[in-house]
Amino acid sequence: MELCALRSRHEPRPRSSRPSWNIIHLAEATSRVVCKRAGHRATVLFVSVVSYLRGLDPRLPRAVWVLELGGVVNSFGNGFVYPFLFIYLHNVRGFALGVSGLIVATNAGVALIAGTPGGAAADRLGAKRTLAASLALLAIAFALFPLVRSPWHAFALAALVGLANGVFWPSYHTLLAAITPAERRHAGYALQRVSMNLGFGIGGAAAGLIAASARPGTFTALFLIDAATYAAFLALLGAVRPGPQRAVAADAHDRDRKLGYAAILRDRVFLALLGLNIVFVTAGYAQLETLPVFAKDQADVSEGAIGLVFLVNSLVIVLAQLPLTKLVEGRRRMVMLALMTAVWAGAWLLVFGAGLWLSAAAAAAVIVVGGGVFAIGECLQGPTQQALIAELAPDHLRGRYMALSTSSWSIGWIAGPAAGAFVLQQEPLALWPAAAALCLAAGAGGLLLERRLPQTLRRTPSDVAVTMPPEPDPEAEAEALSVKVSG
């Protein structure tokens, strides 16, 4: 027994399990600390993201959101019809290509002519009333398009659509300016750009799944859906309440009303801005119509890849418009327009390079990037130019100002494709350097025009100048949230 006791004193004791439990507790404690810190960082990141998104809030009145909701619905319907109108006329109804082209051109031509009286009507009758009338006409016209059997039917309906469009855009822009505070108009017009591209992109994609030339009934569905969207916009318009106009001296109001457009012709700054916009559209936007045929014929880009160019363009506008709207706040408007033209010039040089050195998939990839780059420039123009025009216009003449602005777009859309097609026929690769040079020249012209702008209108209003709730501190909110969770 003593021997056993002696041995037991000298034998090593079995290790206690306690130290292993201490290690486990230490690991658990460490993991809790790490998780707490990681959770704190995640909370800070989350609050920062929320704060950033909150900063993108355009801070617009409810009436503007209702109007823009109508714009989304309207653009959704446009996406259903406009990309497929030529196919309907030629492939479904059997009209010759030349006749179909003239029918589509009738819409643009009548809209250009109707814009001038449409703007005057918006000033005299009120933008909301004239907008409602144009929506009703558009709903009727597109509802009748499935009944087209002869070219004269289509010409008559295209003229009706052009008449309604000539009234629609001056009325829409005038109403948007009337219901948006002056210091937030740039955000209102930026939101309009988002709503148009979002609705048109979704509508075009959905219509592509429905339309089939072999089944005329599918086009009937497209036209009726488009007509329904105009009716829906008309219903939403009832919830839009324009605010009171700024006081204007009665004698000045009556004098300008009697002069009509002659009063606007004295605004040399506005007329110069319209001239610049014609160049912007001719050398910029309108060349998006010549881009598909150039990509197809000169770079062997497939139709599917060409469609991807426009999809990427729309997606970039939807995603980047509000962040870039924040970027332009407080900055010189003409500098932003010059930057826009520089971005567009870069996009056209990408297209030029793709046609000169690449083909097929490689060219398609570069042209898709060019479409996205071009969209960045569009995002700079949206909150800059249209808001400036709204600020230059007195309330009682704003409809006329907007009508002339719309006409400058129409002129550019007519001149751009015509000139672009002529250059493509003579020397295809010359189009894109020429368009880039015109863009840069227009941007330089805008910088020269800046000195003639009123001092108060040279910069886009800054968000700092708008009385809003204080911005949250992400660190403070995260710390408070962590304390609340731990408690």
Over residues 262-320, the pLDDT tens digits come to 888 888 999 999 999 999 999 999 888 888 888 888 888 887 788 788 888 889 998 99
Q: What does the pLDDT read at residue 39?
A: 63
Half-sphere exposure at residue 277, Cβ-oriented, CA atoms within 13 angstroms: 22
Report the distance separating Cα 416 and Cα 39, nearest Å. Answer: 56
- Residue ranges per domain, the chain? 60-241, 253-457
Pick the CATH number of 60-241 from 1.20.210.10, 1.10.260.40, 1.20.1250.20, 3.90.180.10: 1.20.1250.20
Over residues 191-231, the pLDDT tens digits come to 888 888 888 888 877 887 887 778 888 889 999 999 999 99
> What SS3 string covers the chain?
CHHHHHHHHHCCCCCCCHHHHHHHHHHHHHHHHHHHHHHHHHHHHHHHHHHHHHHCCCCCCHHHHHHHHHHHHHHHHHHHHHHHHHHHHHHHCCCCHHHHHHHHHHHHHHHHHHHHHHHHHHHHHCHHHHHHHHHHHHHHHHHHHHHCCCHHHHHHHHHHHHHHHHHHHHHHHHHHHHHCCHHHHHHHHHHHHHHHHHHHHHHHHHHHHHCCCCCHHHHHHHHHHHHHHHHHHHHHHCCCCCCCCCCCCHHHHHHHHHHCHHHHCCCHHHHHHHHHHHHHHHHHHCHHHHHHHHHHHHHCCCHHHHHHHHHHHHHHHHHHHHHHHHHHCCCEHHHHHHHHHHHHHHHHHHHHHHHHHCCHHHHHHHHHHHHHHHHHHHHHHCCCHHHHHHHHCCHHHHHHHHHHHHHHHHHHHHHHHHHHHHHHHHCHHHHHHHHHHHHHHHHHHHHHHHHHCCHHHCECCCHHHCCCCCCCCHHHHHHHHHHHHHC
Q: What does the pLDDT read at residue 471?
A: 42
Residue 98 corresponds to which tokens in the numbers above? Answer: 């030349």
Q: Which residues pair with 332 in a beta bridge?
A: 459
Contact indicator for 434, 287 with CB cutoff of 8 Å: no
* Residue count (the chain): 487
Q: What does the pLDDT read at residue 129?
A: 93
Residue 415 corresponds to which tokens in the numbers above? Answer: 């001149």
Number of CB atoms found within 10 A of residue 466's CB: 13
Contact indicator for 87, 211 with CB cutoff of 8 Å: yes
Report the distance separating Cα 285 and Cα 417, nearest Å. Answer: 10
In the block, residue with structure tokens 């020397």:
427
Q: Give the type of residue at 344.
A: W
Q: What does the pLDDT read at residue 393?
A: 87
**CA distance readout (Å), 66 to 72, 73, 289, 439:** 10, 11, 31, 35
Contact indicator for 128, 175 with CB cutoff of 8 Å: yes
The low-confidence residues of the chain, meaning pLDDT below 70, are 1-58, 243-259, 463-487
In the block, residue with structure tokens 């007195």:
394
Q: What does the pLDDT read at residue 473?
A: 47
Assigned CATH for 253-457:
1.20.1250.20
Domain 60-241 identical in fold to domain 253-457: yes
